[in-house]
Structure 1
Amino acid sequence: MNHIQPITQGGLRVLTTNQLAESFGADSKIINRNFQRNFDRYAHGKHYFALSGEDLRTFKGTRQFDDSLKFASILYLWTEKGAWLHAKSLNTDLAWDAYEKLVDEYYMIKENVVPLSKDQALVTVLRTTADLVEDTQAIKEEQHEIRKLVTHLDNKVEEQITLTSGEQRRLQKGIAYKIYEICDDPEQRPSLFRELHREIKDRFGVASYKDVKQRELLTALRYIENWIPRKVS
């Protein structure tokens, strides 16, 4: 592939139809026909460039000794991806072998790569380092915000968790212990139980003592421990 005169268009290395046909061992008419048949699969700027008018005249001026361009009114230049589509259309061993060589020995070659001076390299490194520091700081800040959000959500979840069965029994025992502590009369105890249950529901805004939140269990137990009935008859 070293005999191919390099052509660059739109920052990409490209090949003329004749160059592509020669590389694939095919006639340029077949390349053009396959393109027309599969036109919808090709995207301008991605698979090919089409030169005409002043662009074409300028291009011809750079290749004055290429007779194949003399009478062309429009010129197609094929990118690596365009060459792949043509190799797929031809689907011959020669075309596929040639395509691999084109990729390795032509399309992937970078042109006009000018080594950086020592000072330019140092500036590039410093800029890259500064960008990395800035990106790292931004990531840290984002992680901090995420942790705050997760903590907030965890707290919200914890606020809604109600008593486990074991904690419910603990609350029941606290209620029973309080009622039996302040009242020896079995006939009065049911009304005291009802009164204390009602006040627990009112105090903690729940439909049942079972719905008391875990985070309020100790508060509920202290409330029961210090509870005084409104009236004992």
Structure 2
Amino acid sequence: MNKLIPTQQTREGNLLVSGRDLHEFLEVGTRYDIWFNRMKKYGFVENIDFLLVVQKRSTNNPKNPFTDITDHHIKISMAKEIAMLQRNKKGKEARSYFLELERKWNSPEMVMKRAMDYLNDQVDKLQTSNLLLEQQVNELKPKATYYDMVLQNKSLLSVSKIAKDYGMSAMKLNKLLHELGVQYKQGDIWLLYAKHQDKGYTQTHTHVIDADKSKVQTKWTQKGRLFIYELLKQQGFLPLIEREEYAS
């Protein structure tokens, strides 16, 4: 049978036709909105038997280039009853058409096809969800790995040890921290600028070499190590452990 009236399938598995397409096919002389309101009086319920649809249509009026057109997407069962109510040749033709659509729609082959389509759609959604979850885990994993490593270590660290995390020399890291406004050099020792001194990032100790000679050493706490991590990450510097995670 030729496709007399276009149909569309919903995600819920319902087959719908446009009320305006049906109105046109039945060659109803009454204006569509008046005709459809009359049809509703036969007991059809919105959102159960039909859906209200408002569409934009272009006009020839420059001041109002678009206008709203009311349509209805109606279920085949409703369309079939409306066709019967017409009591004319076009109504009979439409009813036969809808009966044939229902027969094909409810055939075992079509039921199985819809079930497979639904299953494939759910599998696609699940795969997308899993891929998104995997990406989110991988995005968080490098940070968690480095944080875990830092938090497990309670000892003080020399700048050379932290620099090693990034695959750079102590000299380069000290210079970078200076350029980022963290520290400055006073004689042979790097000191923090005042705004960072009370944050608990470093501890300074004096190492006695002999009676006449001593050396001041500044070491970083684990809190300071995490401060450097966050600061350098903003500048695009990642520790080696995270680069390895991203590369894998």
- TM-score, structure 2 length as denominator? 0.32
Higher percent of residues as strand: 2
Task: Please identify the structure whose Cα radius of gyration is greater.
Answer: 1
Could you state the TM-score of these two structures normalised by the residue count of structure 1? 0.34
